[in-house]
Structure 1
Amino acid sequence: MPSNIRHRNLIKIISCWSQLDFKALVLNYMPNGSLEKWLYSQNSSFDILKRLNIMVDVALALEYLHHGYSVPIVHCDLKPSNILLDDDMVAHVADFGIVKILGLGDPMTQTMTLAIVGYMAPEYGMDGIVSTQGDVYSFGIVVMETFTKMKPTNEMFVEEMNLKQWVANSVSSEAIAEVVDANLLVVQEQDHESLTKIDCLSSVLRLALVCSAEPPHERISMREVVATLKKIKIKFLKDAARSVQLNRRPVQAL
């Protein structure tokens, strides 16, 4: 990893220590731990907006790695445990142990170093092909896990059923409420706030499915991901404010 890489959403390396029998990195302390910790705790305050903000932060970090340096940098190991949160719940992508730097004009490379099953792109797992589109795939899986609270390695996923297919089935049948984290949604009839949440969650999961498309050329770039996530967030905030007003209106007698 180049030493001059700097971004608000990348973990900052303060110093390093290297001896024959010991090597260590000193990193900024992240008091709120990892995204994985928050996902699988019982904290009901971990709402849609907090998760959206974290996904925007992660997307910005990957956009910088892919497009903001002289050559593309591929993280190769994106997962919730590698996304750390500071005092303000700002996300920082960490663990660059298997990062790959692509050569000028070279959109991909090959490696024998593999990431965690469930998060890595099919072409990475089968052929060791590394590209920025592999990070996009991993990001899509992380988004799904963030909003469903379901690991891609869950024992319920066997044979052809996996996290991506499970989410795709719910999106196509408009049954989002059946797969999202129950802490995010309490569906009530004629509840404008619930409808706003469902609309936002549907948009987020559709984006995640596009990111995790099987063929790499069908995945969008992280620039497009950032732009789409920001639009989803702005729409959610506007709709949420409007739904609060609608829910406050008194019901008129017939």
Structure 2
Amino acid sequence: MVSLLLSMTGALLLAAVIWVPPALGQDSGVRQVQPGLLVVAPEARGVVTLGSGRAVQLDETGLRVTNGSTLLFRTVRGGSPMSALLGTVEGRDGDRVEQISTVMSNLDIDRLSIKPGEVTWSGRLTNAEQSLPATIVVRLEGARLVVTAEAKGADAVVVHSAQELGTRGRAPGLPERLLRKRAWWVGDGPAPVTDAYSTELGVVVGVGPRGSHRGIDLRRMGHTDLHAWSSSQTLTMTSYRRTVEE
């Protein structure tokens, strides 16, 4: 009997050792936000050329940024590329926690505006009771592309980007290793992070704006959800394919 009890106790301890560590700190205070529906009016769909072979496309499959035939960046397929949050961030440094009271995640795009090197999609983010005006701007700035997602009146914006193979953090904002199945705050505070992570697509992505709390969430399969506690989120990315160090 004693041997049986010791054996069972050992098995339970082993299970605890195996199971507990992945659960601890898995969300890092960054809350999961699900994308809603994406509706794009026919007159706002299509491919827009930004120059130097760079182009961007938005339709009901999502947002895609390309250099010629090479994919650089994309949002989740078939869902809203962005959500708006109402709430706040409590705590500081690594002990921050998102407190979210409202999520608006259904995006209805009805207008397209084009300038040299820049395209803007406009519409509204909604839930069952509320809505906010929203825009997605993609701009070519030299060797970098800048994607700005804004929801006027929101406390935070989440960009629902697609999870790419080989997503690797870059110091000092994120740990320098493959990022999988959990969430992190980007940096220990609100300092800007120009290069937050790289992907196997050969692109380095930075998360902004300056002065905001930012997080990255890879817990949902196929998603790299990027949080910024500001009414607008700015993603900067290399606009060419490069060799990503392993």
TM-score category, normalised to shorter length: under 0.3
* Structure with the higher fraction of residues in helix conformation: 1
TM-score by length of 2: 0.27
| TM-score (ref. length: structure 1) | 0.26
Which is strand-richer, 1 or 2?
Answer: 2
